[in-house]
Chain A
Amino acid sequence: MKKIETDVIIIGGGATGSGVLRDCTLRGIKAVLVEKDDIASGTTGRNHGLLHSGARYATKDPVSAKECIAENRILKKIARHCIEDTGGLFVTLPEDDQGYHDMLVRDCLNAGIDCKEISIKDALRKEPNLNPSIRKALKVPDATIDPFRLAASNIMDSVERGAVVFTHTEITQLITNQNSLTGVRCFDRHRDENFEIYGKVTVNASGIWGQKICEPAGIGLKMYPSKGSMLIIDYRINNVVINRCRKPSSGDIFVPGDTVSLIGTTSKKISYDIIDEPVVDDDEIKILLDEGEKLIPNVSKTRVLRAYCGIRPLVALSGNMDGRDISRGIILIDHKESDGIENFITITGGKLMTYRLMAEKATNLVCKKLNIKKKCLTRKTPIPGSEKIFFNKRKLKPFQGFSNSVVGSTIYRHGTRAEQILQSNKKGSGLICECEMVTDREVKYAIDNQLVKDIVDLRRRTRTGMGPCQGGQCAYRSAGLFTEYGETKGEEAVKMLIDFLEERWKGVKPTLWGDSLREAEFTYWIYQGLFGIGNLTKGFGVKGKRE
């Protein structure tokens, strides 16, 4: 069996894991990251992508609020290509508690969050689709963040600096030697092989999955799975983040995210054994749409692209609490203290917002254990793509042979790295995903540089298949490119295509009405009616089975 030796093993390729990996690498520590699926495939990629100003937490959790606003300012500098500084509004509807507004203003100012009341006229000018009957509007420095890009850029930077990353690789066992954790046994689903990694310190950054990983080794880590569901609207129905000014509850936030808008979020306790296959319930969709309509009446007339949900990695430290009431604070556990297991750390809780701070805290502990005295550099060092401001109109011109919408979208997704994609080379300027303007070259770039193993991974790096057609046109083209640019064989490409369509279908299924339904029928007609894809699955050997 293959054996790998390193200093730090990181379990989990979400925002936290990738953040820890980058922090370690920047401090010159050798690190290996293991992710069971893909980068940002868990909770990281399943939230509404809000770059909190902290205002959401200001009244209930001032510590989190302060963390949020501090990280907000840092991330706007180091990860600017993943962030859109849209600004945010808190609006009070006539039926809401009118006192909440003043309380929020007071608490925001206490937490150092820069908020300002604006007139209703100004609010409506900023956001013409907003419900005109709002009573009060408060401006806060909310923004939006793309979690896929954030995690992938962190990983990419680390890999370029020498870190090793295994995606689609599952931890099958924690290897312990007496009271010390010495390594992990893994199974690489893509290469179909088992191997072992030995490290001096292991960091568990697997979020909600931590409990599953720790249990067999006798380490107690009780997670509290709280499901949050969201809906995606076909286009950007709002340009700034719109919050409802009331006690946090379902359907009170609209977040614009690249070409779409999201309505969030519900909160529902679920049982731990369904964390791998959570589903959005019909009543959640109804609540989100009904409440969403109160903020933006337009919602009922637009197409809902899909519904999805994520599991908050909350740690149940005591008793029975509601998902919204558990602090979103950062939890760093040294298992030597809690379970007597040496060289094992768990970093969990927190939010996407505070991933960098979480990574900093975890890496500080790692350094202490390894006796390394190096300072954290992530506060100042921009992630790849964010080195400088790259988006302005003049910048669109030099990229001959690509349309403005393609150039703009590519820069939007890859920041300064877009230069490598948009070279004036004739080949590969064709569109693969027409809804999100992904070119052949961008797919090639992602396969070559961004640890893309299949079309689902490709979607997270490039937005392929995330537009209105949900893979109808781009999926088969992408599958073809995997055989051209990757090592994929024809049969594997078909399997990949089926997996991707199944993954898309999962999110579309709960929202099948109106135009979504027509779209789904059309996609079905292409893949089943034209390609007969349902008949192709027979005869494929099932690869990727665990030992």
Chain B
Amino acid sequence: MIKLENISFDHCIKCTICTVYCPVARVTNMYPGPKHSGPDAERLRIKNPGLIDPSVKYCNNCKRCEIACPSDVNIATIIRNADSKISIKKIRIRDYIMSRTDFVGNLATKVSTIINALNSSLPVKVFLDLFLKISIKKTLPEYAYGTFRQWYKHQSKYQTSYKENVVFFHGCYVNFNDHELGKDAIKLLNSINIGVFITKEKCCGVPMIANGYIKRARKNAKHNIKTLTEATKNKKSKIVVTSSTCAFALKQEYPELLGVKNDTIADRIEYITTYIYRKFRKCDTPPMKPLNITAAYHPPCHLERLGSAVYTKELLKIIPGLNLKVLHSECCGISGTYGFKKEYYPISQKIGENLFRQIDSINPDIVITDCETCKWQIEMNTSFEVVHPVTLLARSIL
């Protein structure tokens, strides 16, 4: 039987707008769309849980259905919950590896040169394709040497000198793949006189949710809420996040999907551009130099769902000499680990096609996006450099 709190499907008036906006249903008939897989099928699943259809797997959890829904139905949450119920019993090595970003990352960063070389070598890719069903056509993300946390250790003493400070939830990407983004964020925050602390964090849980390991994700969620609550308790400082998906998970997916209460920190979590934009408005913006480039901005799905894409846009407009072209709001198709999986690779590519074509026609000097996996997808499919808005801002600061 269902519990009282999960009855948002009851508000669905069957308008089907969600299915119209679903990027997966648009390109494949393997997925019947969010309306069918979500609120429609939920009524049947209450009747008989055996009626969960395996097609729910095709949902890439982009959350565009939830943005479109006029009735406030947590469509993607319903689908993910149904999916996690059928994935529990199977052993899936690939999904396990893909979902344990922090465990795998910790190992890989120690020997990153070897791992990166192996990951780009053909025999390894063939092996991964054949045995782990990770698409051969995908370029696997590169690991950095060492972790961001190790670098920060030497930094921490400088950060205490600021009057105001924030807690920085760096996420796995900054920690294992791109230290520069973390450094840029610190540089940017320091430039407006804000010190940056970090806490003992674990992976936000999104890759686990995406691969059906709900229990594990819940464990991580509880850990993160605990440490973040402790870190912000006395100083009442904000928690800033550079990954749009981590921010969305911390703020909304924890209570909605995992059922973990985050009241103690929910109001403090802010996506980094939101935080900085507000600070820029309040105090003077730091001196900036003109960049004189054309940039195409791709707003990621989860940032749109979070309602923060507008802040990134406005913040980018402040950079002098930046010719900003905002792309149509479309899913790039990669959706975290989704696009790496062999079975979803063709769907993922088809979803992103329009976006890649758009970028090519603009022919910018640089592409900007807030999400690390969107970055990988665009870099793999176009010839342009893709950076985080924070990186671009840091480049402009004197």
A: which residues have CB within 8 A of B? 127-129, 234-236, 238-239, 256, 258-259, 298, 301-303, 393, 396, 403-405, 408-409, 431, 434-435, 437, 467-469, 472-473, 515, 518-519, 522
**B51 lies within 8 A of A434 (CB):** no
**B15 lies within 8 A of A522 (CB):** yes
**B14 lies within 8 A of A515 (CB):** no
**A235 lies within 8 A of B46 (CB):** yes
What separation, in Å, do the CA atoms of A396 and B50 have in the docked complex?
A: 9
B55 touches A (CB below 8 Å): yes
B52 touches A (CB below 8 Å): yes
**A236 lies within 8 A of B46 (CB):** yes
Q: Per a CB cutoff under 8 Å, which of A127, A431, A434 touches B1?
A: A127
Binds A, one of B4-12, B91-99, B202-210, B381-389: B4-12
B314 touches A (CB below 8 Å): no
Q: In the complex, what's the smallest C-beta–C-beta distance from B53 to chain A, in angstroms?
A: 4
**A403 lies within 8 A of B43 (CB):** no
Given A128-B3, A235-B43, A404-B52, A302-B13 contact (CB < 8 Å): no
Given A128-B3, A239-B1, A404-B12 contact (CB < 8 Å): no
**B1 lies within 8 A of A302 (CB):** no
B15 / chain A contacts, CB cutoff of 8 Å = 522
In residues 28-66 of chain B, which contact A (Cβ within 8 Å)?
32, 35-36, 40-48, 50-55
Q: Known pairs A408-B48, A434-B36. 4 more at Cβ < 8 A?
A: A303-B11, A405-B51, A518-B71, A519-B14
**A404 lies within 8 A of B1 (CB):** no
What separation, in Å, do the CA atoms of A243 and B133 have in the docked complex?
A: 53
B: which residues have CB within 8 A of A? 1, 3-4, 7, 9-16, 32, 35-36, 40-48, 50-55, 71
A404 / chain B contacts, CB cutoff of 8 Å = 50-54
Q: In the complex, what's the smallest C-beta–C-beta distance from B303 to chain A, in angstroms?
A: 29
**A234 lies within 8 A of B44 (CB):** no
What separation, in Å, do the CA atoms of A20 and B52 have in the docked complex?
A: 40
Q: In the complex, what's the smallest C-beta–C-beta distance from A330 to chain B, in angstroms?
A: 33
Q: Per a CB cutoff under 8 Å, which of B3, B11, B47, B48 touches A515?
A: B11
Indicate the member of A298, A393, A468, A518 with the most B CB atoms within 10 Å: A468
Nearest 9 pairs of A and B residues by beta carbon: A469-B14, A403-B53, A408-B51, A404-B53, A519-B13, A405-B51, A235-B43, A128-B1, A405-B44
Indicate the member of A235, A256, A258, A393 with the most B CB atoms within 10 Å: A235
A467 / chain B contacts, CB cutoff of 8 Å = 43
What separation, in Å, do the CA atoms of A63 and B132 have in the docked complex?
A: 67
A520 nearest CB neighbor, chain B only: B13
A259 / chain B contacts, CB cutoff of 8 Å = 43-44, 46-47
Q: In the complex, what's the smallest C-beta–C-beta distance from A474 to chain B, in angstroms?
A: 10
Q: Per a CB cutoff under 8 Å, which of B14, B42, B53 touches A473?
A: B14
What separation, in Å, do the CA atoms of A404 and B43 have in the docked complex?
A: 13
A434 / chain B contacts, CB cutoff of 8 Å = 14, 35-36, 40
What separation, in Å, do the CA atoms of A469 and B36 have in the docked complex?
A: 13
Q: In the complex, what's the smallest C-beta–C-beta distance from B1 to chain A, in angstroms?
A: 5
Interface of A is mostly: loop
A236 / chain B contacts, CB cutoff of 8 Å = 43, 46-47
For this complex, 21 residue pairs linking A to B, each with C-beta atoms less than 8 Å apart, are: A127-B1, A128-B1, A129-B4, A234-B10, A235-B7, A236-B46, A238-B1, A259-B43, A259-B44, A301-B4, A303-B11, A403-B53, A404-B52, A405-B40, A405-B51, A408-B48, A434-B14, A434-B35, A435-B43, A473-B16, A522-B13
B36 / chain A contacts, CB cutoff of 8 Å = 403, 431, 434
What separation, in Å, do the CA atoms of A467 and B29 have in the docked complex?
A: 24
Q: Per a CB cutoff under 8 Å, which of B3, B4, B13, B48 touches A518?
A: B13
A256 / chain B contacts, CB cutoff of 8 Å = 47
**A435 lies within 8 A of B46 (CB):** no
A403 / chain B contacts, CB cutoff of 8 Å = 32, 36, 53, 55
A404 nearest CB neighbor, chain B only: B53
A303 / chain B contacts, CB cutoff of 8 Å = 10-11
What separation, in Å, do the CA atoms of A235 and B9 have in the docked complex?
A: 10
A518 / chain B contacts, CB cutoff of 8 Å = 13, 71
A301 / chain B contacts, CB cutoff of 8 Å = 4, 7
What separation, in Å, do the CA atoms of A240 and B52 have in the docked complex?
A: 21
Q: In the complex, what's the smallest C-beta–C-beta distance from B38 to chain A, in angstroms?
A: 12
Q: In the complex, what's the smallest C-beta–C-beta distance from A513 to chain B, in angstroms?
A: 13
A437 / chain B contacts, CB cutoff of 8 Å = 40, 44
A522 / chain B contacts, CB cutoff of 8 Å = 13-15
What separation, in Å, do the CA atoms of A234 and B42 have in the docked complex?
A: 12
What separation, in Å, do the CA atoms of A302 and B46 have in the docked complex?
A: 14
**B40 lies within 8 A of A515 (CB):** no
Given A236-B47, A404-B53, A469-B13 contact (CB < 8 Å): yes
What separation, in Å, do the CA atoms of A83 and B219 have in the docked complex?
A: 42
**A393 lies within 8 A of B50 (CB):** yes
A239 nearest CB neighbor, chain B only: B1
B45 / chain A contacts, CB cutoff of 8 Å = 405
What separation, in Å, do the CA atoms of A238 and B11 have in the docked complex?
A: 18
**B55 lies within 8 A of A258 (CB):** no
A408 / chain B contacts, CB cutoff of 8 Å = 44, 48, 50-51
B47 / chain A contacts, CB cutoff of 8 Å = 236, 256, 258-259
Q: In the complex, what's the smallest C-beta–C-beta distance from A105 to chain B, in angstroms?
A: 26
**B4 lies within 8 A of A298 (CB):** yes
B7 / chain A contacts, CB cutoff of 8 Å = 235, 301-302
**B43 lies within 8 A of A515 (CB):** no
B42 / chain A contacts, CB cutoff of 8 Å = 235
What separation, in Å, do the CA atoms of A256 and B16 have in the docked complex?
A: 27
What separation, in Å, do the CA atoms of A239 and B35 have in the docked complex?
A: 24
What separation, in Å, do the CA atoms of A258 and B1 have in the docked complex?
A: 14
A472 nearest CB neighbor, chain B only: B14
**A468 lies within 8 A of B51 (CB):** no
Q: In the complex, what's the smallest C-beta–C-beta distance from A265 to chain B, in angstroms?
A: 22
What separation, in Å, do the CA atoms of A393 and B54 have in the docked complex?
A: 13
B12 / chain A contacts, CB cutoff of 8 Å = 468
B16 / chain A contacts, CB cutoff of 8 Å = 473
**B53 lies within 8 A of A468 (CB):** no
Q: In the complex, what's the smallest C-beta–C-beta distance from A426 to chain B, in angstroms?
A: 12
B4 / chain A contacts, CB cutoff of 8 Å = 129, 298, 301
What separation, in Å, do the CA atoms of A469 and B14 have in the docked complex?
A: 6
What separation, in Å, do the CA atoms of A366 and B226 have in the docked complex?
A: 78
Q: In the complex, what's the smallest C-beta–C-beta distance from B17 to chain A, in angstroms?
A: 11
**A129 lies within 8 A of B14 (CB):** no
What separation, in Å, do the CA atoms of A298 and B48 have in the docked complex?
A: 20
What separation, in Å, do the CA atoms of A346 and B150 have in the docked complex?
A: 91
Q: Per a CB cutoff under 8 Å, which of A468, A472, A473, A519 touches B43?
A: A468
What separation, in Å, do the CA atoms of A298 and B7 have in the docked complex?
A: 10
Indicate the member of B15, B46, B51, B54 with the most A CB atoms within 10 Å: B51
Q: In the complex, what's the smallest C-beta–C-beta distance from B374 to chain A, in angstroms?
A: 31
B11 / chain A contacts, CB cutoff of 8 Å = 303, 515
A234 / chain B contacts, CB cutoff of 8 Å = 10, 43
B52 / chain A contacts, CB cutoff of 8 Å = 404-405
Q: In the complex, what's the smallest C-beta–C-beta distance from A193 to chain B, in angstroms?
A: 40
